[in-house]
Amino acid sequence: MRLGLQEAIINAVRHGNGLDPNKRVIVEYASSEPFYQWLVRDQGSGFRPQEELNRCRCGILETEESGRGMLLLTQIFDFVQWNETGNQLYLGKYIHPGCRDPWIV
């Protein structure tokens, strides 16, 4: 999960905000065991997530620098959804209480 969260935040900084130091990435977290959720929002103009996911599913060349992260998110989290604009990502994960790592709580 840590890898997935890092990927979401890095994508927001790099692709969403264009590495602009004047723009922020907002991360919100909530939990109601056993469901954990995160909201990652950037200040960029957004993108078309479904089109990008379709492109990724059709195949990414090993030499491509980006694109794998979106697929990674869909493999790690139980719920992955972008807003209509594409600048806000909602992630959700069911975690059995006996399987929690201490850093999640």
Q: Mean pLDDT for the chain? A: 83
pTM: 0.79
Buried b (16+ CB within 10 A) or exposed e, 14-23: ebbbeeeeee
pLDDT of 38 higher than 90: yes
CB 24 within 8 A of CB 65: no
Q: pLDDT digit string (tens) for 51-73?
A: 666 565 566 555 455 667 788 89
Task: Supply the pLDDT for residue 56.
Answer: 55
pLDDT tens column, 71-83 = 889 899 999 999 9
In terms of pLDDT, which residue wins out, 10 or 48?
10
Q: Please enumerate, as own/partner, the contacts of 17-21 that have beta carbons within 8 Å and a separation of 24 or more.
A: 17/42, 17/43, 17/44, 18/44
**CA gap 34, 32 in Å, rounded:** 6
Q: Report the C-alpha gap between 71 and 81 in whole angstroms.
A: 12
Q: Which pLDDT belongs to residue 67?
A: 62
Q: In this predicted structure, what is the pLDDT of residue 66?
A: 61
Q: What pLDDT is stored for residue 101 in this prediction?
A: 62
